Chains A and B, each alone.
Chain A
Amino acid sequence: MAEVIQEMSAGLAKLVEAAQAVVVRVDGRRRLSATGIVWSEDGVIVTANHVLRRDNKLRVGLADGSKIDAELIGRDPTTDLAALRIKSAGLETPNWGKPSDLQIGHIVLALGRPGKSVQATLGIISALGGTWRTPAGGQVENYLQTDVIMYPGFSGGPLLSVEGSVLGLNTSAIRGVSVSLPTTTLQRVVESLLAHGRVRRGYLGVGIQAVKLPQSLVEELGQETGLLVVSVEPDSPADEAGITLGDTILAMDENVIEQMDDLLAALGHERVGTETMLQLLRGGEKLERSVKIGER
């Protein structure tokens, strides 16, 4: 009787036991500690940005009970990720999994260490998808939603597969839906934080608002909307290129710009320092301006 359930139960416990060494506590805000994942054996820890309410007096609690002072390497508020460094060597690191191996319905565990010992909750993969953009404009390579319940302090912890590999980092649950950042995004952001202390993004220096285009232009261009420039920062790349209030951005090089997202996508780190052709609408006339994309 109940052999399968017993085996499953024992299997889950074994998974938690095997993975708990890579799950650390992160003290970076008052009252409630959060969770982090060991990134490298020489002491890099990855966690959620929002759990670090301060830049110093950060501490990391390891599985063996030791508490170590940590230094902030950098943050990326747009993806809600941050990297810390502790003076430690020979840390155990996770086996990283790939979202491509996943199916909706697969069992997953969320691990956290808001206290001394590791904690776990069980759920399934609810939804999978391609690249998406956070409300703050950060790019995330895969959409990964689960129905695991995230207890307080679980932010920054790993999402674990039944093969024992880490599939992503759990950020806070929004509206009762738990979203994890996939390993590809962790890799890209942490590498950028290690190299630059931040994630490089292209910078134009305009405030914008999506607006409907006149019908004649809709037919001519095949795009419904453009981005109306509502502010220009002095001495910004946009200012230097002669972009003014009231211009409507239609395209950047070959990329059609209809929504805020399109512009954010077109301002990736690879654009920094490049000359880019902006197509504008000014007083009903189309014109082009060359802009040297800045960096933020």
Chain B
Amino acid sequence: MMTVLERINAELGELSKEVQKSLVRVSSGERGEGAGTIWHAEGLILTNAHVVLNDDIRVTLPDGVRKKATLLAMDRELDLAALAVEAWDLPTIDLGSSDSMQAGEWVIAFGHPWGVNGAATAGVFIGQGRTVQERPQWGREWLAVSLHYRPGHSGGPLVDVNGNLIGINTVMVGPDVGLAVPIHAVKRFLKENLNSI
């Protein structure tokens, strides 16, 4: 009989392996280095606008293949960018929703903190909305999570315990609070800019 801890452990291991399949590396310019999330199988990749520093964008797919990417749409205000690479049948993460997330639920972020490839970091969901205590002037929609984003996490997936995508890792605001762009904001961004979905 496995203990609850061992079962949780095994599930977290499996979940991480799944999510990592849709995690890419994005580099642009001399210092632009971040993560990206495969949005659909035919090469649409999502990342943060602050990762994209110039037109020379390269995406490293999970299998190590490096591809040139084109910028489809970018919104500096939302801090989102949509990229396209020539690839097909890429693995995607099931989309979740942050609407039903409650404070205290577990979330896991994936990225390349300080250049370490495909690392996982766990924390709990703090809350969501437009008002972020640490940044009252922002007025954008955010998910707040108690985990440590590092340089290299930006643009990577934030998932719930089912492994479903609920946000895009974006920025730290204070020593222990990370902010992610919620998935409904990403969908709206793609709809307005690419007429997708």
The residues of A with any CB-CB pair to B shorter than 8 Å are 4, 7-8, 11-12, 15, 103-107, 123-127, 129, 145, 147, 162-163, 175-177
Find out whether the CB atom of B150 lies under 8 angstroms from the CB atom of A177: yes
CB distance from A37 to the nearest CB of B (A): 21
Find out whether the CB atom of A105 lies under 8 angstroms from the CB atom of B15: yes
Identity of the chain B residue whose Cβ is nearest the Cβ of A5 in the assembled complex: B4
* Chain A contacts for B148, CB-based, 8 A: 147, 176
Contact of B108 among A15, A105, A176 (CB under 8 A): A105
Interface centre among B9, B114, B121, B147 (most CB of A within 10 A): B9
Is there a chain A Cβ closer than 8 Å to B3's Cβ? yes
Is there a chain A Cβ closer than 8 Å to B20's Cβ? yes
Find out whether the CB atom of B147 lies under 8 angstroms from the CB atom of A147: yes
* Residues A124 and B12 in contact in the complex (CB < 8 Å), given A104-B120, A147-B121: yes
Is there a chain A Cβ closer than 8 Å to B177's Cβ? no
* Residues A127 and B4 in contact in the complex (CB < 8 Å), given A106-B9, A176-B150: no
Q: List 20 A-B contacts (CB under 8 A).
A: A7-B3, A7-B5, A11-B5, A15-B5, A104-B120, A105-B14, A105-B17, A105-B120, A123-B122, A124-B12, A124-B120, A126-B119, A127-B116, A127-B117, A147-B120, A147-B121, A147-B147, A162-B9, A175-B150, A177-B116
* Chain B contacts for A163, CB-based, 8 A: 6
In the complex the two chains form, what is the Cα distance from A126 to B111 in whole Å?
A: 10
Interface centre among A7, A8, A104, A105 (most CB of B within 10 A): A105
| Per-position 1/0 for B117-151, Cβ under 8 A of A | 11111110000000000000000000000011010
* Chain B contacts for A145, CB-based, 8 A: 116, 119
Find out whether the CB atom of B5 lies under 8 angstroms from the CB atom of A104: no
